[in-house]
Structures are given as C-alpha cells and as structure tokens.
A and B are shown apart, each in its own frame.
Chain A
Amino acid sequence: MAAVAKNQEATAARLDRLTVPSSGQWAAETREATLSRLREMGLPERRDEYWKYTRPDTLTQADAPAAAVYETGEAPLFDRFDRIKVVFVDGVFDEDQSDDLAGEGLSIERLADAVEKDIHWAKELYGVLEAKGQVPVERPLAAFNTAYATDGVVIHVTGKVAKPVNLIYQHKAESSDAVLHHVIKLDAGAEVTVLENGPAAARFNKSMEVDVADSAAFHHVRAQGRDHERRAVTHLFGRLGTESVFKSFTLTVNGRLTRNEAVLELTGDDAVAHVAGACLGDGDFHHDDTVFVTHDAVNCESRQVFKKVLRNGATGVFQGKILVQPGAQKTDGYQISQSLLLDEDSQFLAKPELEIYADDVACSHGSTSGAIDEDALFYLRARGVPKDIATDLMVMSFVAEAVEEVESEELRDEIIGRLESWLERRRG
C-alpha cells in the first residue's frame, strides 16, 4: 500500500508542474474528472505488471529526451494518394501544409477548436472510451493524454467517404513533446479510412477514440516515422456496434521506444475487429504492442496478427489479450505473435493471454520465436538465390500475414514498398 501512496505522491508532483490546456465547459469537466482518475491510479512504474517488459520512465519523466531529426530522403508515405491532409509539426497544427478540413460525408474539426466550445458532440466520446478502457487494466498514459492533449482532430463520419483522411506528423524540433488526441465517430453504415504517418516529435503521446456504429466500417493504416531516437506511446480505443468492421494495421521501423496499445470492445453482434502490426527493428529499438480485445456480443470475430523482425539488440514485446465475457457465444478469437530474430542479440518477450467466460467459442493463440529457418534458406540458395536476397525473401514472407490485413491493395503495396526499402538499406 505504501508503494501506491508513494507513486500517487510522485504523480501529483509531476502533474502539478503542468498546465491543463484552456478548455470550454464540457472539456474542462472531462479533463478535471480524468485528472482525478489519473492522480488516483498514478503514472506507470517499472514494477507494474503491465509494464513488465517495457520501461515507462522516459515516457513519464518531466522532460522529453532529445531526439535528433532524421532526414530519410524518401518520398513521404501515401503521397500518391488523393486524400485529406491534416499536418501537425511537433504536435502543433500546421494550417499551411494541411488541406481544407472538409470533405463529402464527413466533418473534420480541430480538437483545439472543439474544446473551446461549451457544448460539443465530442463530449460523448472524448475520454469516454479511454475511461472505459481503464478496466480491468489501468492505462495511466491514456488518461494523461485525455487531461493534457493540446490538439488533434474531431471527425464525424456520416456517409461512405472515398478520400482517406491522412494525419501527418512531422518532427522538426529536437526535444519536442507532443500530446494529441483524436475522436472519430462513424454513424450507422458510414465508412472511412484514416492514414497516419510520421515520427511526430521527440516524444509523442497520442490517443485515438473511435466509435463505430452498426454496419459502419473503419480502416486504419499507420506508419510510425523512421527517426531513430523518437519515443512514442499511443492508444487506440475502439467500440464496435452490430455488424461493424474495425481494421487497423501499423508498420513500425526504427524509434528508440514505441508502445502501441489497442483496446477494442465488440459490443454489437456479428462485429469484426482486426488489429495487426509489422515491425522491423535494428539496434537500439524497443517496440511493444499491447492489445486488449473484449468480446461482449454474440458471433463476433477478432484477429490479432503481430510480426516482429529484430536484429542488433532490438527488443520486441507483445502483450495481447482476448477477453470473452459471459454470454459472448460463438466468438471466433485468434491471436498470433511471432518474432524472427536475425542475430544473437535480439529479444522477444510475449504474454499472449486468453480469458474466457463463455463455452461456445473457438479461441486460439500462437506465439513463436526463432531464427531464420536454415532449411528454407538452403533451399533458396541451392536454386541460385544469393544469401542476402534469400534472407530478405524470408523476412517478407514472415511479415506477409500481418501486411495482408491491409484491405486496400494500393495501400498494401505502399507498405510493402517501405518494407522492401528497409531491407534494401540493410543490405547496403
């Protein structure tokens, strides 16, 4: 108990130095309630079970550790797509680089504008899914985000939107510390694709709350920037209605520390939720995927597919959970986490969990870790494929299951292109 009080004290000391962004009535109320929750739970600590494999200290300390800005020389991702661009530079909205925040079938607003109002529909979602996602496992950094987010987008999708919304995060200042929060509401039958890319800041705390109404579909493809020293903690909260679809894919290459949490709740019957990720880590790289899927309705399907390719001391973490609530019969839950360790120094740490309270379900999970299959390598080499090319082919086939979770073929190709260039750079 003493430890809890001590952490609450430390958290209070840390929070007292911060200012809550200016807000109108609804947002002020939400932020205040969130702050009291946060003070109660305290910021994450190293010995917290949920942070067993990832050290939270650099994410919670007062100052963001500096991260050099990295020029990749690559064309920006998703450049060839017709999309609505919303650009943030070190967490600050950049009007000049952004498109008009308007489109057919949706309305987009800046969070900074929405919170200034006294009444706004975003009240019914902002911090709401996050608060719900705190049970049964606490996610203090998400609460932190709700309390201190300075900006973000508030999107209301009313129809089937053809043009993707592209959130672009540029990193320009070495010690920037950004906190962004997005709220996305899809009406019944609506559809939207949200793309995210860029390193964002030296330290980035981002939340996204997505409410997918009945028969709506949400597609999400994200690539986290290549800056070697950046740190990020992100939370993706999703609530799924009847016959709705939620599909999210994340590509991560580089970054000193990344913790991506996805917290999904299937509340309507026949809903489908997929979360997938491919990560390629080289050197001082720590990547953590933490996923929590709750089945609270009948005949739903969920899939978690995570692949990690690691070398030169990179560390990959996977904590996944499928929770099937009483009565969530006919659940089809699948979870796979695999790592390919390219050398002796890399590590893979996993905790794939199932918690099941309904009997008529088919749930399974698998987790593997190992080196490149020498037999397969030999087979390719025997057919004249040089060793490095053969290795790359095997890496590509290893991550394929995750990449295939991207439904749009064009977007998939874009991701594959990035994977190939990562491999090519390593081949040098």
Chain B
Amino acid sequence: MAAIDQTQVKEGVDQETVDAVREVGGKYKYGWETEIEMEYAPKGLTEDIVRLISEKNEEPDWMTDWRLEAYKRWLTKEEPEWAMLDYPEVDFQDQYYYARPKSMEEKPKSLDEVDPKLLATYEKLGIPLKEQMILAGVEGAENAPAEGRKVAVDAVFDSVSVGTTFQKELKEAGVIFCSISEAIREHPELVKKYLGSVVPVSDNFYATLNSAVFSDGSFVYVPPGVRCPMELSTYFRINAENTGQFERTLIIADKGSYVSYLEGCTAPQRDTSQLHAAVVEIVIEEDAEVKYSTVQNWYPGDENGKGGIYNFVTKRADCRGDRAKVMWTQVETGSAVTWKYPSCILRGDDAQGEFYSIAITNHHQQADTGTKMIHLGKNTKSRIVSKGISAGVAQNTYRGQVSMHPKAKNSRNYTQCDSLLIGDKCGAHTVPYIEVKNNSSRVEHEATTSKVDDEQMFYCRQRGMDEEEAVALIVNGFAKEVLQALPMEFAMEAQQLVAISLEGSVG
C-alpha cells in the first residue's frame, strides 16, 4: 500500500478516491494522543486503590466488598504461563489503575455537556457520538434505510464511560444500555444477580484482577421477547500513558430476546507497553440470541516490537436456557500480546455456539487465542472457524477446547483452524483439546497450515498488483468465511485492517 504514494494518478480517477485509498493504507492510524487534562489514582495496586476506584464510581458497599474480595483472591493467584507467549514480566505495581479526564469529574447529564475534546477524539476515530450521525467510513451506509444503520455507542475513555447514545430510544424498547458504573447505581438488582455468574471472581489471574479494579465498561439488558432495535456498540480508547484499562461488560439477553453487540478498541502509539485486562460476561436465556463482534485494533507495537498493548481478556457466554444461541466473531489485528479465549457454555438443550476468528500477527506480535465450547445440554451444536495469519517474526497460536459431557447427547461440533504463514521467520501453532464423553455426539476437527499459494500470487502479480496488494487480497480470501460473519459496519473496516496489518510483511 505504501506504493500508492508514489503512484501517479491515472486519468479518470478522482482525487477523493486516491485520498480514501491512501487513508486505509499507511501505518497504524489511531496512534495519536488526545491532549487532555487527566486525573490519576496513585500508581500501583493496593486495597486503598480498589476502594478509591469504587468510591470514584460512587458504588454501594456491596460492590466495594465484592472488589475487595477479588483483590484478596488475586494476591494468591499466579500469572498463567502455559500460553505460547513470550513477553517481559509485567510489573503490576508500575501501572495506573484509574485515569479519567478532569472534565468528567462532574458526570455530564447529556452528550451536549461532554467535553468537546473528547467528542472530537471519537469523531477522529470515526465514532460519532451525535445521534443524528451514522458510522463513518462505511461504504453504502448512506443509502441504507435509516432504521437499519442506527448504532448506539457507549464510549469508554481510559477508565470512564464518556457517554452512551440513543439511550432514550432504547429505553422505549425496554432495553437498558449504559455504562456498568451507571448500572451498578441504577440497576443494582440485575448487576448483583448476574455479575460474576459467568466468569467467577476467581476464574483466572487476569479476570480476578479485573474484578478488583474494573473501572468501566458497558451493561446491556434486553427484556424478554425484545429484539433490540439497533446494534449496540462500545468503543474503548486507551489514551493515558502507563495506564491499564480494565473494562467489564455484562450482557443479559432475557428469554426470546435478540441483540447484536459490537466492540472496537484503539490506543495511541507509545514506546512502553500497556496493560489491558477485560472481562466480558454474557447471559443468554431460553430462545435468546446474542451476536458479539470485536475488531481488536489496540496499538500493536512498532516493527521492532517496541511498545504495544498486552491484551489479556476473558470472554464467556453462558447459554443458560434451551435454544439459546451465541455467536462470537473476532478480528484480532492489534496488540503486542493477545491472550483471549471467548468461550461458550452450552447448558440449555439445543443451545448453539459459534466462534469465528481472524487473528493476524505481524512484526513482533504474539497471539494465543481460540475458544472453548463446553457442551452440557442435549442436542447442542457448536462451530469453530479460526483463521490465523502470521508474518514477520510473529507467533500465532490457536488454542481451543471442545468438550462433550456425558449428558450432552446428540451434540455436534465442527472445528476448522487454518493457518497461513507469510515469510520463514514466523510461527503458526494449533493446540486443540478434544474431550468426548458420549458416543451419540459427533466431533470433527480439522486444521491445516500452509503458505500463500505461489500460483495465486503469480496470478495477481501478473494482473498488475504489487506484492502487498496481492497478499492482502489472498489473505482476505483466506479469511472470507469469518469476514462474512461480521456485521456490515465492521466488515469493511476489518477488510482494510487485514491489509494494513500485513503491511511490510513481504519483500
């Protein structure tokens, strides 16, 4: 793509097109920083910091106690070392656990009161927080019917939620969509009931840490029988230096409801690595369905592996009721280190879980990602499609588990993991665990590893594409099954990301 700058514009191609193409090329384009006055909690993690975070969020006592309990557990836990990841030890005392823009001290009552600098930040990221606007950069969106293109956004800036759009309209439908801190204050009965019920406080090192220090995140409750009238989305932005972001998302889809949720994330370009440890819990009751899509584009570090986000995420969906359905789709292009396994617990009979993933690692990036499909109910179905692409000196691992319990009769799993290697210095690995404890279930697992096909390359090159364009096209084809599972708003962005992430991987 870098070649575009030198290319002479052909006749008949207008300047706008050239600019648009130039924009999608280029380096990490979200690497800038917003200069804004911030308020930090003291560095390091102690019981006092946990109390402070709770206080800042004006939380009730039960929530403070919950956090303190998690903090105590965390002290006894060891950092997991089994993943195929190699990074310098994280000093958990050398982090800020709370940072918020000064202007957010007084909660703005509506979006009009939000600091214009913050609004401008999201605007620049292509995330408009004005309700009349549509998501930028989505081709053809302007022609789509108005109803179909509404997306409600909860914007999280470092440790706080800046604002949530379309709250009124959602309220009319009965849907609660707000920041988790607001939910703790306004809907304590729901939070109390569900928080920690899918990912228990002591689930793993990072989840326990998150339980103690999570500062904000999103909360969604869709009441029985309601089809959420628009897509919901959260946009996470890390801005402050040396600050960990620990967001917590809780989604509850009550009986027979439906919601589609999008998540995006970026961070400025910095020399030092930053920590991100999130927890996402999804509860899906009888006949309900949740689609959760992520485009993870945290700053990946530079070509020499300097800086970047360490991304340790616990995501889990619990299909509690019969016929509950969940679909995870993730495009993982960012982060220096990714440790992430969005999982499905298929508890109800006939429940369904799907996992579609593209993980791209380039330069010094490392990703250890996959899913768990725990089949507990009868006739449960799951499908895993994972595409790993590795370039530069990056390491990309698929790690997954499919477990058929003795009572999960007549269940079905199909897993496909394909890896593509670009260059001879990178690695691609597959580590599946398959546990079948009854015979009426069928489990199939397939995995392949290969390089970019020479013939396909030749074909593209012969038609005048440069090497990088050809690779981007072939990789997009390789990952097509997953890209197609994304909502339209994300699919376009994801395709462009594929190309950008692989920049500098050939030649």
Known: A351-B434, A353-B432, A355-B429. Is A360-B443 also a contact (CB below 8 A)?
no
Question: What is the number of contacts between chain A and chain B, taking CB atoms within 8 Å?
Answer: 113
Q: How many angstroms between the C-alpha atoms of A131 and B225 in the bound complex?
A: 63
Q: Does B46 contact A (CB under 8 A)?
A: no
Within 8 Å CB of A329, what residues of B?
Answer: 424
Q: Does A163 contact B (CB under 8 A)?
A: no
Q: Which residue of A lies closest to B401 (CB)?
A: A351
Q: How many angstroms between the C-alpha atoms of A358 and B431 in the bound complex?
A: 17
Q: How many angstroms between the C-alpha atoms of A48 and B435 in the bound complex?
A: 17
Q: Does B124 contact A (CB under 8 A)?
A: no
Within the complex, the shortest CB–CB distance from B359 to chain A, in Å, comes to 15
Check A343–B451 contact: CB distance below 8 A.
Answer: no
Q: Which residue of A lies closest to B396 (CB)?
A: A356
Check B449–A356 contact: CB distance below 8 A.
Answer: yes
Check B429–A367 contact: CB distance below 8 A.
Answer: no
The residue from B84, B423, B432, B447 contacting A359, defined by CB atoms under 8 A apart: B423
Known: A355-B429, A369-B443, A370-B441. Is A327-B449 also a contact (CB below 8 A)?
no
Q: Does B445 contact A (CB under 8 A)?
A: yes
Check B431–A343 contact: CB distance below 8 A.
Answer: no
Within 8 Å CB of B430, what residues of A?
Answer: 352-354, 365
Check B442–A370 contact: CB distance below 8 A.
Answer: yes
Within the complex, the shortest CB–CB distance from B379 to chain A, in Å, comes to 15
Q: Does B428 contact A (CB under 8 A)?
A: yes
Q: Which residue of B lies closest to A53 (CB)?
A: B435
Check B434–A356 contact: CB distance below 8 A.
Answer: no
The residue from A341, A361, A366 contacting B450, defined by CB atoms under 8 A apart: A361
Within 8 Å CB of B448, what residues of A?
Answer: 362-364
Check A364–B427 contact: CB distance below 8 A.
Answer: no
Q: How many angstroms between the C-alpha atoms of A359 and B428 in the bound complex?
A: 9
Q: How many angstroms between the C-alpha atoms of A206 and B24 in the bound complex?
A: 61
Q: Does A378 contact B (CB under 8 A)?
A: no
The residue from A349, A357, A370 contacting B435, defined by CB atoms under 8 A apart: A349
Check A351–B432 contact: CB distance below 8 A.
Answer: yes
Check A359–B426 contact: CB distance below 8 A.
Answer: yes
Q: How many angstroms between the C-alpha atoms of A273 and B425 in the bound complex?
A: 25
Interface residue ranges of A36-76 to B (CB < 8 Å): 49
Check A364–B446 contact: CB distance below 8 A.
Answer: yes
Which among B421, B427, B436, B440 has the highest number of chain A CB atoms within 10 Å?
Answer: B436
The residue from A49, A358, A365 contacting B424, defined by CB atoms under 8 A apart: A358
Within 8 Å CB of A344, what residues of B?
Answer: 406, 438-440
Q: Which residue of B lies closest to A369 (CB)?
A: B436
Q: How many angstroms between the C-alpha atoms of A90 and B386 in the bound complex?
A: 50
Within the complex, the shortest CB–CB distance from A194 to chain B, in Å, comes to 32
Within 8 Å CB of A354, what residues of B?
Answer: 419, 428-430, 447, 449
Q: How many angstroms between the C-alpha atoms of A347 and B433 in the bound complex?
A: 13
Q: How many angstroms between the C-alpha atoms of A349 and B424 in the bound complex?
A: 33
The residue from A351, A356, A366, A369 contacting B429, defined by CB atoms under 8 A apart: A356
Q: Does B160 contact A (CB under 8 A)?
A: no
Q: How many angstroms between the C-alpha atoms of A420 and B427 in the bound complex?
A: 44
Q: Does B444 contact A (CB under 8 A)?
A: yes
Check A349–B434 contact: CB distance below 8 A.
Answer: yes
Within the complex, the shortest CB–CB distance from A361 to chain B, in Å, comes to 6
Contact with A along B127-142 (1 / 0, CB 8 A): 0000000000000000
Check A367–B439 contact: CB distance below 8 A.
Answer: no
Within the complex, the shortest CB–CB distance from A344 to chain B, in Å, comes to 6
Q: Does B437 contact A (CB under 8 A)?
A: yes
Check B449–A349 contact: CB distance below 8 A.
Answer: no
Within 8 Å CB of A365, what residues of B?
Answer: 430, 445-447
Check A357–B436 contact: CB distance below 8 A.
Answer: no
Q: Does A236 contact B (CB under 8 A)?
A: no
Q: Does A342 contact B (CB under 8 A)?
A: yes
- Number of interface residues, chain B, beta carbon within 8 A: 35
Q: Does B62 contact A (CB under 8 A)?
A: no
Check A351–B431 contact: CB distance below 8 A.
Answer: yes
Q: Does A417 contact B (CB under 8 A)?
A: no
Check A326–B424 contact: CB distance below 8 A.
Answer: yes
Within the complex, the shortest CB–CB distance from B89 to chain A, in Å, comes to 15
Q: Does B422 contact A (CB under 8 A)?
A: yes
Known: A368-B444, A369-B443. Is A353-B423 also a contact (CB below 8 A)?
no
Q: How many angstroms between the C-alpha atoms of A370 and B414 in the bound complex?
A: 12
Known: A364-B449, A368-B444. Is A355-B427 also a contact (CB below 8 A)?
yes
Check B449–A367 contact: CB distance below 8 A.
Answer: no
Q: How many angstroms between the C-alpha atoms of A346 and B440 in the bound complex?
A: 11
Which among A342, A356, A370 has the highest number of chain B CB atoms within 10 Å?
Answer: A356
Check B450–A349 contact: CB distance below 8 A.
Answer: no
Q: Does B87 contact A (CB under 8 A)?
A: no
Within 8 Å CB of B427, what residues of A?
Answer: 355-357
Within 8 Å CB of A369, what residues of B?
Answer: 434, 436, 441-443
Within 8 Å CB of A4, what residues of B?
Answer: none
The residue from A348, A363, A366 contacting B436, defined by CB atoms under 8 A apart: A348
Within the complex, the shortest CB–CB distance from B410 to chain A, in Å, comes to 10
Q: Does A350 contact B (CB under 8 A)?
A: yes
Check B449–A371 contact: CB distance below 8 A.
Answer: no
Contact with B along A352-394 (1 / 0, CB 8 A): 1111111111111111111100000000000000000000000
Within the complex, the shortest CB–CB distance from A341 to chain B, in Å, comes to 3
Within 8 Å CB of A371, what residues of B?
Answer: 439-440, 442
Q: Which residue of A lies closest to B420 (CB)?
A: A359
Q: Does A258 contact B (CB under 8 A)?
A: no
Check A370–B439 contact: CB distance below 8 A.
Answer: yes
Q: Which residue of B lies closest to A371 (CB)?
A: B439
Q: How many angstroms between the C-alpha atoms of A327 and B451 in the bound complex?
A: 14
Within the complex, the shortest CB–CB distance from B418 to chain A, in Å, comes to 9
Within the complex, the shortest CB–CB distance from B115 to chain A, in Å, comes to 48
Within 8 Å CB of B432, what residues of A?
Answer: 350-353, 367
Within the complex, the shortest CB–CB distance from B445 to chain A, in Å, comes to 4
Q: Does A339 contact B (CB under 8 A)?
A: yes
Within the complex, the shortest CB–CB distance from A219 to chain B, in Å, comes to 29
Check A342–B439 contact: CB distance below 8 A.
Answer: yes
Check B428–A327 contact: CB distance below 8 A.
Answer: no
Q: How many angstroms between the C-alpha atoms of A361 and B429 in the bound complex?
A: 13
Interface residue ranges of A94-138 to B (CB < 8 Å): none
Within 8 Å CB of B444, what residues of A?
Answer: 366-368
The residue from B82, B425, B429, B443 contacting A326, defined by CB atoms under 8 A apart: B425
Check A370–B443 contact: CB distance below 8 A.
Answer: yes
Check B421–A347 contact: CB distance below 8 A.
Answer: no
Interface residue ranges of A211-253 to B (CB < 8 Å): none
Check B429–A353 contact: CB distance below 8 A.
Answer: yes
The residue from A326, A343, A350, A360 contacting B439, defined by CB atoms under 8 A apart: A343
Within 8 Å CB of B428, what residues of A?
Answer: 354, 356
Within 8 Å CB of B84, what residues of A?
Answer: 355
Within 8 Å CB of B419, what residues of A?
Answer: 354, 356
Within 8 Å CB of A341, what residues of B?
Answer: 436, 438-439
Residues on B lying within 8 angstroms of A by beta carbon are 82, 84, 406, 419, 421-451
Residues on A lying within 8 angstroms of B by beta carbon are 49, 326-327, 329, 339, 341-344, 346-371
Give 17 pairs: A residue, B residue, CB < 8 Å, sorted on A.
A341-B436, A343-B439, A344-B406, A344-B439, A349-B436, A350-B434, A351-B433, A353-B432, A354-B428, A355-B429, A357-B427, A360-B451, A363-B450, A365-B447, A367-B444, A368-B444, A369-B442
With A344-B406, A350-B435 already in contact, 13 other A-B pairs whose C-beta atoms are closer than 8 Å: A329-B424, A349-B435, A349-B436, A355-B429, A356-B419, A357-B426, A359-B421, A367-B443, A367-B444, A369-B443, A370-B442, A370-B443, A371-B439
Ordered nearest first, which 7 A-B pairs have the shortest CB separation?
A: A341-B439, A359-B421, A370-B442, A369-B436, A350-B434, A354-B430, A359-B451
